[in-house]
């Protein structure tokens, strides 16, 4: 995330020495792909993203093609995921909804990530008054339940997808700020930071080059978790009518629409739920895989295991 | 202050709350000269050099005195000015090479950081320089090593890299804070001879901190013995071994274990170093001193006196060439 991927170099026959030669290092991407679990997550993500981009054209039915005579039909060859209470094709709606869910996840988490990392880094590194003020503000944000705070923000700014994304982003910012601040506090005391001060590095350089790369692990984990929760938050907001406006579908909306039919039409809740579950899982798996590969120490261990 | 003086520290004091960590320490380092600072853990060695170079980061620490480098007093200097001095005029090597290098950056990034910041040279030139530096500190086949991460090197290699980082901009002064403590004895010897040869080539002044008199004897021309945050004895390195005068210095030398000799038990100095929050009113070594020549020892702080040829001692007991102290120490053997 913060580190550029290591450039691919042509393979050379490995020298006999243990000297770590650049060209002997496996590329980061290849290591990510070598991990079957991460690869699985990546495949799911690619599928979801493709659905998000091309879903509109791939969907066999229009998302709002009402066919009341065929309402609540179970999965069949014509309707793979069945139909809902208005006879709309669940498969098409799940496919098209990927766009909203991915968009909300990425936009709101990117916002929270950037704001939270900047705030957390500065607070953790400089400490003192800045830290006290910023983190007390974060505490205030924390004091509200996530959904309530998001509701309040949406209520002020008016409902709709953009405000929902902004609200979710704001709500998750203090979580990132806290994680980043805590990690920064730990890394700040490491001798290599003092060593860097002792060769005349400025605070900005130390933050960018020494602290940030050392806290990517927790940031990546927090990002993948937050992506998952952001998708769920969007679902909740949409359910309350403050997110995606009907008749546009989103996984969360579909799930909540299905709540009345849990006993009679399981497919209405299972398929959107499955979509959320798989996407969230995939984000987490890919996050884990990335974290392992981006840390040089872990990476050497992985490379060593591959050689065996 | 002669033209050759690299750093001149006078009356350095560090207070952290009620604790008197460093008390009126003065020292001077010339170009090409090495000053050793020895003392037990907690005697204020590291705090002395950190305070003298303005590197103390504890906001509660109060530092006073002067520390002149290039006509500037480093004490109380603004951080932005210090940044220009660190790396370019002063290089530091720290105790633990394992944690003094950033684990997630390649050696190249860490070696080029200083030169890029201070010399304003291009990435390419900085890389060339990094290669030269690695070669200078005795790392074989440096080219592929530039892409290596710290965990792929041994402890001795890491310390060599640290030295390369510290010397990247040809500093006039090198501060070595127990740089060999975490290394085994043979590596220790290699690092010592490396620093010595680099010092001869570059003509820098070195302040070498250690608790190991053996290491100090290998690197330093002059040595200051620190106890309770004070210089208790300062002299040429040979004098410390041949003619130690302060009871503490003698006690330290007696406590050195010898290889091979059939020793029944290890000699120690009974007692423990004084609490910096509660330093004795008189001689700092009073509680553990076997001599206690004078009633003044308990009530009056002995001055740092020149007993000839720049041999400074802070003790009332250092009379008759230290013979009385030696006898007193012998008397403590049971």
Using 50, 70 and 90 to split pLDDT, how confident is the model at A15? very low
In the predicted model, is pLDDT for residue A18 greater than 50?
A: no
Flag if B99 and A192 touch (Cβ within 8 Å): yes
In the predicted model, is pLDDT for residue B37 greater than 90?
A: yes
Distance CA A208, CA A79 (A): 52
What pLDDT does residue B263 have? 62
In the predicted model, is pLDDT for residue A78 greater than 60?
A: yes
Distance CA B56, CA B35 (A): 20
Average pLDDT, stretch B283-294?
A: 84
CB B105 within 8 A of CB B189: no
Chain B CB contacts of A202 below 8 Å: 80, 83, 117
Of B102, B118, B145, the CB nearest to A19: B145
Flag if A210 and B168 touch (Cβ within 8 Å): no
Distance CA A109, CA B288 (A): 63
What pLDDT does residue A19 have? 43
A 10 A CB-CB count for B26 gives 18
Chain A CB contacts of B151 below 8 Å: 296-297, 300
Using 50, 70 and 90 to split pLDDT, how confident is the model at B55? confident
Cα of A47 to nearest chain B Cα, Å: 32
Average pLDDT, stretch B24-47?
A: 91
What pLDDT does residue A20 have? 44
CB of A198 within 8 Å of a chain B CB? The answer is: yes
* DSSP H/E element including A204: helix A203-205
CB A40 within 8 A of CB A64: no
In this predicted model, what pLDDT tens digit does every residue of A207-262 receive, in sequence order?
A: 998 999 999 888 988 898 888 788 888 878 887 778 887 778 888 888 878 888 88
What pLDDT does residue B13 have? 92
Chain B CB contacts of A297 below 8 Å: 103, 149, 151
CA distances from B88 to A198, B118, B150, B166, B297 (A): 10, 6, 23, 9, 45
Indicate the pairing of strand B34-38 with strand B61-69.
Answer: unpaired
What pLDDT does residue A25 have? 58
Alpha carbons within 13 angstroms on the beta-carbon side of residue B243 total 16
Average pLDDT, stretch B284-293?
A: 84
In the predicted model, is pLDDT for residue A111 greater than 90?
A: yes
Indicate the pairing of strand B34-38 with strand B222-227.
Answer: parallel
Flag if B101 and A297 touch (Cβ within 8 Å): no
What pLDDT does residue A7 have? 39
Cα of B216 to nearest chain A Cα, Å: 23
CB of A304 within 8 Å of a chain B CB? The answer is: no
Share of chain A above pLDDT 90, in %: 24
What pLDDT does residue B225 have? 94
In the predicted model, is pLDDT for residue A116 greater than 60?
A: yes
Looking at chain A from residue 67 to 96, which residues have their Cβ under 8 Å from any Cβ of chain B? none
Flag if B165 and A195 touch (Cβ within 8 Å): yes
Sketch out chain A's domains with CATH numbers. 23-307 (1.10.3720.10)
Beta-strand ranges (E) seen in chain B are 5-16, 19-30, 34-38, 61-69, 72-73, 90-93, 173-177, 205-210, 222-227, 230-236, 305-306, 312-313
Distance CA B30, CA B94 (A): 21
What pLDDT does residue B333 have? 59
Flag if B165 and A199 touch (Cβ within 8 Å): yes
Of B57, B117, B141, the CB nearest to A19: B141
Most confident of A117-131, A150-164, A236-250, B68-82: A117-131
Cα angle B13, B18, B23; round to 5: 20
* DSSP H/E element including B320: none
Chain B CB contacts of A192 below 8 Å: 99-103
Looking at chain A from residue 7 to 66, which residues have their Cβ under 8 Å from any Cβ of chain B? 17, 19-22, 25
Lowest mean pLDDT among A7-16, A241-250, B113-122, B178-187: A7-16
What pLDDT does residue B318 have? 75
What pLDDT does residue B97 have? 85
Lowest mean pLDDT among A234-248, B155-169, B275-289, B298-312: A234-248
Using 50, 70 and 90 to split pLDDT, how confident is the model at A108? very high
Cα of B79 to nearest chain A Cα, Å: 9
Of B105, B148, B168, the CB nearest to A199: B168
Chain A CB contacts of B74 below 8 Å: none
Distance CA A235, CA A284 (A): 19
Closest Cα in chain A to B170: A199
Flag if A191 and B94 touch (Cβ within 8 Å): yes
Beta bridge mates, B91? B174
* DSSP H/E element including B288: none
Q: Which of A26, A198, A214 to mutate to test the interface with B (most CBs of B within 10 A)?
A: A198
* DSSP H/E element including A208: none
CB of A196 within 8 Å of a chain B CB? The answer is: yes
Closest Cα in chain A to B92: A198
In the predicted model, is pLDDT for residue A122 greater than 70?
A: yes
What pLDDT does residue B320 have? 63
Of A17, A200, A216, the CB nearest to B88: A200
* pTM confidence score: 0.77
In this predicted model, what pLDDT tens digit does every residue of B172-204 receive, in sequence order?
A: 999 999 888 888 888 888 889 988 988 988 889
Indicate the pairing of strand B72-73 with strand B61-69.
Answer: antiparallel
Does ipTM exceed 0.90?
A: no
CB of A204 within 8 Å of a chain B CB? The answer is: no
CB of A213 within 8 Å of a chain B CB? The answer is: yes
Of B55, B101, B145, the CB nearest to A198: B55
In the predicted model, is pLDDT for residue A5 greater than 60?
A: no
Average pLDDT for chain A: 83
Chain A CB contacts of B91 below 8 Å: 198-199
SS3 A167: helix
What pLDDT does residue B231 have? 93
Lowest mean pLDDT among A295-304, B80-89, B302-311: A295-304
């Amino acid at each position: 995330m913060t580190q550029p991927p290591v450039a691919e170099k042509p393979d050379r026959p490995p020298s006999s020495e243990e000297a770590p030669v650049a060209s002997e290092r496996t590329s980061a991407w290849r290591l990510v792909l070598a991990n079957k679990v991460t690869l699985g997550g990546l495949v799911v993500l690619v599928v979801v993203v493709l659905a998000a981009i091309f879903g509109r054209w791939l969907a066999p039915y229009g998302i709002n093609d009402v066919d009341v005579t065929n309402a609540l039909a179970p999965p069949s060859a014509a309707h793979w995921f069945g139909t809902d209470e208005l006879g709309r094709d669940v498969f098409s709606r799940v496919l098209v909804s990927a766009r909203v869910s991915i968009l909300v996840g990425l936009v709101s988490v990117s916002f929270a990530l950037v704001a939270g990392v900047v705030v957390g880094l500065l607070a953790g590194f400089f400490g003192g008054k800045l830290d006290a003020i910023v983190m007390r503000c974060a505490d205030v944000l924390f004091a509200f339940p996530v959904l309530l705070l998001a509701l309040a923000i949406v209520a002020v700014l008016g409902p709709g997808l953009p405000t929902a994304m902004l609200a979710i982003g704001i709500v998750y910012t203090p979580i990132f700020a806290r994680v980043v601040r805590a990690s920064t506090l730990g890394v700040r005391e490491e001798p290599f930071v003092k060593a860097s001060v002792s060769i005349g590095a400025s605070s900005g350089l130390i933050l960018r080059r020494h602290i940030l790369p050392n806290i990517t692990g927790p940031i990546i984990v927090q990002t993948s978790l937050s992506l998952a929760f952001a998708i769920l938050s969007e679902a909740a907001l949409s359910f309350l009518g403050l997110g995606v406006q009907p008749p546009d579908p989103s996984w969360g909306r579909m799930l909540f629409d299905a709540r009345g039919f849990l006993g009679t039409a399981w497919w209405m809740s299972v398929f959107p739920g499955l979509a959320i579950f798989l996407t969230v899982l995939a984000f987490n798996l890919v996050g884990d895989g990335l974290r392992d590969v981006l840390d040089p120490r872990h990476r050497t261990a992985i490379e060593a295991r591959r050689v065996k | 202050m002669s033209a050759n003086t690299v750093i001149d520290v006078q009356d350095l004091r560090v207070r952290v709350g009620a604790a008197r960590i460093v008390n009126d320490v003065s020292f001077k380092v010339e170009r090409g000269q090495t000053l050793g600072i020895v003392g037990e853990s907690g005697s204020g060695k590291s705090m002395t050099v950190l305070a003298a170079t303005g590197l103390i980061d504890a906001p509660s620490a109060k530092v006073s005195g002067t520390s002149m480098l290039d006509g500037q007093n480093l004490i109380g200097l603004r951080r932005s000015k210090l940044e220009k001095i660190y790396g370019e005029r002063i290089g530091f090597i720290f105790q633990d090479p394992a944690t003094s290098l950033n684990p997630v950056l390649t050696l190249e990034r860490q070696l080029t950081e200083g030169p890029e910041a201070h010399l304003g040279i291009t990435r390419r030139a900085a890389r060339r320089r990094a290669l030269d530096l690695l070669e200078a500190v005795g790392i074989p086949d440096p080219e592929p090593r530039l892409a290596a991460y710290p965990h792929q090197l041994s402890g001795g290699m890491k310390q060599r890299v640290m030295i390369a980082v510290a010397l990247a901009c040809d500093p006039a002064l090198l501060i070595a804070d127990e740089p060999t403590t975490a290394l085994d004895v043979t590596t220790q010897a290699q690092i010592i001879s490396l620093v010595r040869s680099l010092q001869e080539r570059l003509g820098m002044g070195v302040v070498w901190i250690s608790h190991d008199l053996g290491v100090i004897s290998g690197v330093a021309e002059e040595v200051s013995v620190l106890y309770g945050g004070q210089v208790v004895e300062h002299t040429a390195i040979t004098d410390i071994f041949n003619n130690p005068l302060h009871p503490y210095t003698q006690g330290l030398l007696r406590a050195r274990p010898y290889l091979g000799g059939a020793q029944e038990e290890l000699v120690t100095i009974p007692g423990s170093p004084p609490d910096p929050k509660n330093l004795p009113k008189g001689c700092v070594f009073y509680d553990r001193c076997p001599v206690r020549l004078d009633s003044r020892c308990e009530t009056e702080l002995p001055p740092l006196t020149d007993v000839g040829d720049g041999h400074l001692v802070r003790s009332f007991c250092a009379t008759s060439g230290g013979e009385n102290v030696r006898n007193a120490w012998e008397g403590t053997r049971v």
